Amino acid sequence: MEALAISLVNAVPLLAGVPLWAVTLLLMVVVAAVILVFALTFEGVGSLVLRKVAGDIQARIGPNRVGPNGMLQFLADGVKLVLKEDLIPANADRLLFKLAPYFAFVGSFAAFVVVPFGVGLIAADLNIGIYYVMAVTSLVVIGVLLAGWSSNNKWALLGGMRAAAQIVSYEIPVGMALIPAVLIAGSLSLQDIVRSQSGLLGIFGWNLFHNPFTFFSFFLYFTAAQAETNQTPFDLPEAESELVSGYNVEYSGIRFGLFFLSEFGDMFIVATLSTACFLGGWNVPFFNAGTLPWIWGNLFSLGVFLAKAFTMVLIMMWVRWTLPRLRVDQLMRMAWKYLVPLTFVNLLGVSLWLLVFKGKGIPAMIASLFG
Amino acid sequence: MGLKAYMNDIVEAVVTTAKGMRITARYGVDPREEVTLQYPEERWEIPEGYRGFLHNDIKTCTACTMCVKTCPVDCISLESVRGADKRMVLASYDINIGRCMYCGLCVEVCPPKSLKHTSGYEMASVTRGELILHFIAEDAAEIKARVARQVAEAAAKAEAQAAAKAAEVPSSGTAEVAKAAEAAKAGAQAGPKAAEVPPSGTAEAAGAQASAKTAEVPLSGTKAPDVSSESAKAPVVEPKAAKEGENKE
């Protein structure tokens, strides 16, 4: 960000008198605002698409009243959420009750910082990218747990407890399933991981096809991440049929809206990570966006990245409207008896592969056969 | 749990998920699968013999009370008086459509086939009284009074004629018969007039009300196609009568 500020100061002579830290701060705020706008737009449109997909899959039509074909439904929903009364239950722990939605939203929004949108489009290319995402999205569980506890409502508390147990359990397979990508790239930075999948191998340069273990790793990650973000086959924290609405049952108005937004934000983060770590990020076959002029390269890679990420989001919605909800014990069994051992075996497999074949994937080896 | 069962579990999970996703994808992609009927804009085609709201064509109704007697839920009530021509004149004909169970017995027994099921099924009201359909807009007491007056007039006329005849010398029986027929004709003319009823002012008001209602909700189904405009106006509820109905309930 500071480099960008220096180049900006160099480019615009008017800014020469302004201290560098001020320009940097201003740039940070602008970038944060842009990402926030993107996140909110995605979350709004995502909710509409989710409902439309649900309608299609369930042989219904879905929202079609607000705007042409129901396209403005999310604006109406947003306005409704903002205007609704913000109720706080009489016996709630007021401070924690008010604090909880912010934890949840910040937890999911902060992860947007390291999303590699394009060749140079990343808010902050942290060298601990994946680790940062894993750490900061764990804030969501604190928010959910706080919401469940402070509501002073048994359904909310049960939902919060379930969410805590679930997210903590699935954090392990998620991390373990992402490590193969880190091992191959030799870096935790998401940009480095994406760059490691470029090259002239095209689609076969992607980590997904690097070796059999990474192929499984992708599906393991996707499954575990669905659980970690409370997507439907694993949406026990807000199981409507048993817990009314789970941890957010006492929330209304914009506070409920924040939980809602954080849920969609998590969805995008999962799609982002699977795209960046396994599907080649902004790379497309046989074409290097980095060679284009700065603006076009970035726009092109942004489009590619978003297309991949949104496809993943669509697949998540598809899964969401296909599978019925698991039982609590099934959920825990799946985490500890299936996903955790499998991801460990997988990690071991990838490590051995990289050790034995000197970091080369199957496509690279085949390519080297033909010179 | 052995390793084989363990692997089987995993395979089964993957296979069933794939199966389910294939099914949902098929439904998601195929636009013909949408079964939602966009109700106010689209409607079902009403089947033949559909038993919707009842409608009585009071012009042909003979006030025989068969419908009242046969109704299992007592939703039809009518008042009638004997007119000058010895025919029954309807003073009021009400159907409590909120109580009707659409069994169709009244339609079956109706001798002049004046009572019919229409294809209407949409009616919303704030009070239960509004659910009572009044097929005669005019007040029952007024009709009764008028018919009584007509009967009295006819009787007086007949008496006068009889007296005149008596004075005229007892002539042949044929003349007397002709006179009686004349009197009957007069009475018959009075009869339909009473049935037609509403004084022009109220009729217009009722018409306006009816048209306003039809404009508000496209109730095209509630009217039978062959119903004349007058009888269409008839079921319009007058506020006073509605209130009475509510009190009755």
Q: Are residues B16 and B122 in the same domain?
A: no
User: Chain A contacts of B33, Cβ < 8 Å?
Assistant: 59
From the CA of B45, how many Å to the nearest CA of chain A? 20
User: Chain B contacts of A338, Cβ < 8 Å?
Assistant: 9-10
CB contact set of A289 (below 8 Å; sequence gap of 6+):
A118, A119, A282, A283, A297, A298, A300, A301, A304
Q: Are residues B148 and B26 in the same domain?
A: no
How many Cβ pairs within 8 Å bridge chains A and B?
A: 37
State the best of A57, A315, A340 to mutate against chain B, taking most chain B CBs within 10 Å.
A57
Q: Are residues B171 and B218 in the same domain?
A: yes
Taking CA atoms, B71 is separated from A98, A101, B104, in Å, by: 62, 62, 9
Output the pLDDT for position A258.
Answer: 87
Q: Touching check for B24 and chain A: CB below 8 Å?
A: yes
Q: Calculate the average pLDDT of chain B.
A: 74
**Region for A289 from its dihedrals, namely left if φ exceeds 0, alpha if ψ lies in -120 to 50, beta otherwise:** alpha
Kindly report, residue by residue over B195-209, the tens digit of the pLDDT.
444 444 444 444 444
Output the pLDDT for position B239.
Answer: 45
Q: Touching check for B34 and chain A: CB below 8 Å?
A: yes
Asked, for residue B14, whether it belongs to a domain, the answer is: yes
Query: Which H helix or E strand runs over B101?
Result: none
Q: Are residues B142 and B25 in the same domain?
A: no
Q: Are residues B167 and B234 in the same domain?
A: yes
Q: What is the sign, positive or negative, of the torsion defined by CA atoms of A22, A27, A33, A36? A: negative
| Stronger pLDDT, B171 or A35, i.e. the higher one | A35
Q: Are residues B108 and B189 in the same domain?
A: yes
Question: What is the average per-residue pLDDT within B136-163?
Answer: 87
User: Chain A contacts of B26, Cβ < 8 Å?
Assistant: none
Interface of B with A in 147-166 (CB under 8 A): none
Check B28 against A323: CB less than 8 A apart.
no
Check B24 against A60: CB less than 8 A apart.
no
Q: Are residues B182 and B89 in the same domain?
A: yes
- What is the complex's ipTM, to 2 decimals? 0.73
**Residues of chain A below pLDDT 70:** 1-2, 16, 199-202, 286-290, 371
From the CA of B4, how many Å to the nearest CA of chain A? 13
Check B20 against A56: CB less than 8 A apart.
no
From the CA of A43, how many Å to the nearest CA of chain B? 22
Asked, for residue B117, whether it belongs to a domain, the answer is: yes
Q: Are residues B77 and B122 in the same domain?
A: yes
Asked, for residue B238, whether it belongs to a domain, the answer is: yes
User: Chain B contacts of A57, Cβ < 8 Å?
Assistant: 24, 27-28
From the CA of A57, how many Å to the nearest CA of chain B? 4
Asked, for residue B52, whether it belongs to a domain, the answer is: yes
Kindly report, residue by residue over A84-130, the tens digit of the pLDDT.
888 888 888 888 888 888 888 888 888 888 888 877 777 777 888 88
Q: Which chain B residue lies closest to A54 (C-alpha atoms)?
A: B28
The model's confidence at residue B188, banded by pLDDT at 50, 70 and 90, is low
Instruction: Report residue A306 as tokens.
Output: 């978003």
Q: Looking at the partner chain, which of A53, A59, A323 has a beta carbon nearest the beta carbon of B35? A: A59
Q: Are residues B98 and B164 in the same domain?
A: yes
The model's confidence at residue B72, banded by pLDDT at 50, 70 and 90, is very high
Contact A319, A270 (CB under 8 A): no
Contact A350, A208 (CB under 8 A): no
| Spatial CA neighbour of B150 closest among B189, B101, B204, B98 | B189
Q: Touching check for B10 and chain A: CB below 8 Å?
A: yes
Instruction: Name the domain count of chain B.
Output: 2
To 10 degrees, what angle do helices A253-278 and A94-110 make? Answer: 30
Asked, for residue B188, whether it belongs to a domain, the answer is: yes
Asked, for residue B41, whether it belongs to a domain, the answer is: no
Output the pLDDT for position A200.
Answer: 63
Q: Are residues B13 and B127 in the same domain?
A: no
Kindly report, residue by residue over B219-242, the tens digit of the pLDDT.
444 444 444 444 444 444 444 444
Q: Are residues B86 and B152 in the same domain?
A: yes
Residue linked to tokens 């794939």: B18
Output the pLDDT for position A2.
Answer: 67
Q: Which domain holds residue B63?
A: 46-249
Asked, for residue B38, whether it belongs to a domain, the answer is: no
Q: Are residues B12 and B82 in the same domain?
A: no
